[in-house]
Amino acid sequence: MITEPLFYAAAVPAVLLMGLSKSGFGSGFGSLAVPIMALAVAVPQAAAIFMPILLLMDVLGITAFRKHFQWSLLKRLIPLGLMGTVVGTLTFKHLSPPAVSVIVGVLTLLFLALRLYSQRCATSQQPLPQAAGAVLAVVSGFTSFVAHAGGPPINAYVMGLRLPPVQFTATMAVFFFVINLSKWLPYSYLGLFSWGNISTSLVLLPLAPLGVWAGVRIAHRIQPAVFYRLIEVGMLLTGLKLVAEWRWL
């Protein structure tokens, strides 16, 4: 088990941020969790430590929003997201963690720029085409596999559908529950799990309900305009942080 204080100084806020993300509030901030933890350990190890924590958070999120899923959207997005996890499994050993971070960061900033530009156009109320949504769902599955950073790509599509905050949160909770569940066997195959990582996860596990609980309370009360603005801020910070990894290439 990891015992260094520096690790927990990074891991505690990372887990709390992920909890807020899983509740829907501050969804864009969830992609910052692994990069923050990676300040103290390697990205693959951080991703492995997060796996049991993510499972608990996903279950809590689904339980809290179980009456608000949009099944028609999930039936279309989930198979595409699973395709992304397959791509992640096949390419994981061939991509350096900084390279993955930069790719995710550039895509995140691009998606945000396109969204902000569209808001100034007459067609700002039009969602992205379904073909674009399909591509983004695959990208989301891939980036979720390699760095638990699947939020920004799928957000770029689903945000355009202008779902109510609670429905948005519920739908994303189910999507990522399935995606994260599909990663357990590949992570084991790739040798990312160890007793040290699992025991460290168990130490951090009690923080998961705290972050989710706080986010759920806010998501039920927040105005849609404020909700989506916070996601945009989260995407901006996420993109900048991930792009900063270029210096390690």
177-218 pLDDT tens trace: 999 999 999 999 888 888 888 999 999 998 888 877 777 777
H helix count then E strand count, the chain: 12, 0
| pLDDT classification of 28: cutoffs 50, 70, 90 | low
Report which of residues 26 and 226 the model is more confident about: 226
Query: DSSP character for 246?
Result: G
Q: What is the pLDDT at residue 249?
A: 57
pTM above 0.85, yes or no: no
* Cα–Cα distance list, 189 to 42, 185, 193, 194, 245 (Å): 18, 6, 9, 12, 27
User: Mean of the per-residue pLDDT values for the chain?
Assistant: 81
Dihedral angle over CA of 70, 220, 212, 179, nearest 10: 10
Query: DSSP character for 131?
Result: H
Mean pLDDT of 97-116: 73
Range of the domain at 225: 5-248
User: CA geometry: angle at 179 spanning 131 and 134, to 5°?
Assistant: 0
Look at residue 135 and tell me whether its pLDDT is greater than 90.
Answer: yes
Q: pLDDT of 52-80, one tens digit each?
A: 998 888 888 788 777 788 899 999 999 99
Residue 14 has φ and ψ, to the nearest 5°, of -65, -45
Measure the CA–CA gap between 126 and 40, rounded to whole angstroms.
Answer: 42
Q: Which residue has the tokens 């569940």?
A: 181
| pLDDT classification of 122: cutoffs 50, 70, 90 | very low
- 158 backbone φψ class: left, alpha, beta (φ>0; ψ -120 to 50): alpha
* Cα–Cα distance list, 206 to 7, 12, 58, 67, 210 (Å): 17, 10, 14, 25, 7
Helical (H) or strand (E) element with 120 = none
Total number of domains in the chain:
1
Alpha carbon of residue 29 to chain centroid: 8
